């Protein structure tokens, strides 16, 4: 199929029409919506296995979307599935009481992640972040949270600001203002946020010097993965750690994506920087819907002694902790991260080589099994760089070309490509063959 023809997804089209009558936008979450780039409608999934996904129209793709991150072990990992079925069959699902598997899973998470001495499970990354932010305020009795433009921390009122603001609303580069990500936020929440550009040491030092004694917590993705992929500049996270300690603010690493992916112990292990609190989700449970918040014992114990109320009917349900436990065992096996790193590097280096061969201006960024190809002729180090320099039109064209050649990833350059433990060298070979053809098509359509 070429881009001029109508997409060959007639069955998906019919399913979309039906879905749109009862599901707003025809989908269950904004990232799957037509306006997120899945035009004219998203392909509907028939099934997925390992590194491959098949749509209802019969196309099979090598899958780098991976459910937007959770499928770190590939689709339908047999061991995780078996562990969940066994636990549910033998025990049940939800008790409103503790059960042994919960502590087993918690021990394994504490063992894996350097900054996690105690942990509580939750059901989504948004919930885990909501808990972390409130805990930071509870622990410090301070009002403000510092968050960064271009990061996404879920949809809770307290943080769903300035993730992708229009620059005309977002204030000057050196003094960004909070911009709500949508209508309906509780009044005054914006006043509880301090917004800064990420990767800017001087800006961070300025904010902390001016408002450090009122800042309860600093929340950051340790690598920006909600505006494509942007790596931290050398020394930035180290300085953030120092400033948080110096000013008595709680440093929260939102490792919802990086956790268990950049290393078994997440970005904090890979970068050697230990936060006070960590949020985790995608990657913790082999694709089952589980999240967690963990951190220093002194902070987490507030959830236990009544100073902070952390609740949730479905927290630590049997399916969740059985999946976490099995996933932790798999990730602890020798060679897991060598495999993920090697294939991730092959993919990104291969994309870069294809772009260079065809004279297409670009930058690739990534670590281990996650990254992105930027179509840009200027370096991308912050959200505002991405707005000003990234060529979203070119990315959309490249995406279509790759989809047409059986390679699946998100149509927006603001998302990422993910590699799983189930991907193989043969998958990467096929992907890079497709990339060479797709990049030739990109180069042919216009000035580069
Ligand atoms: C860094 C980060 N934090 C939090 C969230 C929210 O997680 P969830 O979608 O599970 O609520 C996401 C989701 O993409 C994320 O990428």
Distance 38 CA to ligand 1 centre (A): 20
How far apart are the C-alpha atoms of 354 and 187, rounded to whole Å?
A: 49
- pLDDT for 8 equals 79
- pLDDT for 72 equals 98
Name the residue among 70, 140, 92 with its Cα closest to residue 291.
70
Q: Which of 55, 61, 63, 282 is catalytic?
A: 282
- pLDDT for 1 equals 39
Active site (annotated) includes residue 160: no
Whose tokens are 């819907």? That residue is: 289
Which atom of ligand 1 is nearest the CA belonging to 31? 14
* Overall CATH class of domain 78-331: alpha beta
Distance 126 CA to ligand 1 centre (A): 6
- pLDDT for 4 equals 44
Is 153 close to ligand 1, i.e. is its CB under 6 Å away?
Answer: yes
Active site (annotated) includes residue 86: no
Selected from 3.90.1150.10, 3.40.50.620, 3.40.50.1000, 1.10.10.10, the CATH number assigned to the domain covering 10-75+335-445 reads 3.90.1150.10
Per-residue pLDDT of the chain (448 residues; tens, 9 = 90+): 344 454 579 999 999 999 999 999 999 998 899 999 999 999 999 999 999 999 999 999 999 999 999 999 999 999 999 999 999 999 999 999 999 999 999 999 999 999 999 999 999 999 999 999 999 999 999 999 999 999 999 999 999 999 999 999 999 999 999 999 999 999 999 999 999 999 999 999 999 999 999 999 999 999 999 999 999 999 999 999 999 999 999 999 999 999 999 999 999 999 999 999 999 999 999 999 999 999 999 999 999 999 999 999 999 999 999 999 999 999 999 999 999 999 999 999 999 999 999 999 999 999 999 999 999 999 999 999 999 999 999 999 999 999 999 999 999 999 999 999 999 999 999 999 999 999 999 999 976 5
Q: Domain ranges in the chain?
A: 10-75+335-445, 78-331
Is 431 close to ligand 1, i.e. is its CB under 6 Å away?
Answer: no
Distance 130 CA to ligand 1 centre (A): 11
- pLDDT for 448 equals 54
Ligand 1 test: best mutation among 260, 282, 288, 291, most atoms within 8 Å of CB?
A: 282
Which atom of ligand 1 is nearest the CA belonging to 282? 10
Is 227 close to ligand 1, i.e. is its CB under 6 Å away?
Answer: no
- pLDDT for 126 equals 98
pTM value > 0.85: yes
Distance 415 CA to ligand 1 centre (A): 12
């Amino acid at each position: 199929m070429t881009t001029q023809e109508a997409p060959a997804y007639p069955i998906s089209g019919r399913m979309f029409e039906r879905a749109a009558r009862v599901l707003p936008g025809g989908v269950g979450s904004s990232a799957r919506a037509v306006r997120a780039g899945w035009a004219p409608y998203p392909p509907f999934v028939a099934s997925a296995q390992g590194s491959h996904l098949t749509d209802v129209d019969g196309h099979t793709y090598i899958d780098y979307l991976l459910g937007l991150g959770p499928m770190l072990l590939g689709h339908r990992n047999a061991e995780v599935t078996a562990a969940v079925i066994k636990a549910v069959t033998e025990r049940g699902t939800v008790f409103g009481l503790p059960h042994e598997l919960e502590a087993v899973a918690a021990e394994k998470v504490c063992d894996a992640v350097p900054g996690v001495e105690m942990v509580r499970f939750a059901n989504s990354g948004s919930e885990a972040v909501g808990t972390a932010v409130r805990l930071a305020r509870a622990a410090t009795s301070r009002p403000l949270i510092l968050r960064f433009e271009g990061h996404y921390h879920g949809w809770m009122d307290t943080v769903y600001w300035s993730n992708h603001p229009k620059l005309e609303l977002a204030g000057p580069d050196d003094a960004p203002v909070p911009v709500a990500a949508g209508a309906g936020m509780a009044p005054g929440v914006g006043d509880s946020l301090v917004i800064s550009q990420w990767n800017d040491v001087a800006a961070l030092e300025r904010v902390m010097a001016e408002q450090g004694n009122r800042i309860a917590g600093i929340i950051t993705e340790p690598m920006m993965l909600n505006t494509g992929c942007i790596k931290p500049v050398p020394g930035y996270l180290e300085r953030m750690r120092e400033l948080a300690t110096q000013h008595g603010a709680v440093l929260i690493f939102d490792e919802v994506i990086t956790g268990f992916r950049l290393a078994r112990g997440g970005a904090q292990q890979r970068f050697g920087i230990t936060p006070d609190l960590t949020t985790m989700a995608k990657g913790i449970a082999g694709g089952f819907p589980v999240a967690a918040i963990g951190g220093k014992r002194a902070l987490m114990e507030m959830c236990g002694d009544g100073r902070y109320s952390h609740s949730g009917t479905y927290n630590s349900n049997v399916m969740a902790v059985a999946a976490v436990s099995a996933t932790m065992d798999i990730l602890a096996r020798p060679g897991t991260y060598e495999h993920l790193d090697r294939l991730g590097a092959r993919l990104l280096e291969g994309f870069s080589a294809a772009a260079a061969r065809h004279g297409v201006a670009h930058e690739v960024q990534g670590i281990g099994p996650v990254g992105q190809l930027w179509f840009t002729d200027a370096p991308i180090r912050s959200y505002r760089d991405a707005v000003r320099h990234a060529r979203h039109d070119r990315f959309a064209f490249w995406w279509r070309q790759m989809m047409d050649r059986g390679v699946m990833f998100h149509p927006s350059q603001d998302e990422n490509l993910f590699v799983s433990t189930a991907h193989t060298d043969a998958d990467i070979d096929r992907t890079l063959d497709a990339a060479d053809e797709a990049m030739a098509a990109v180069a042919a359509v216009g000035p580069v």
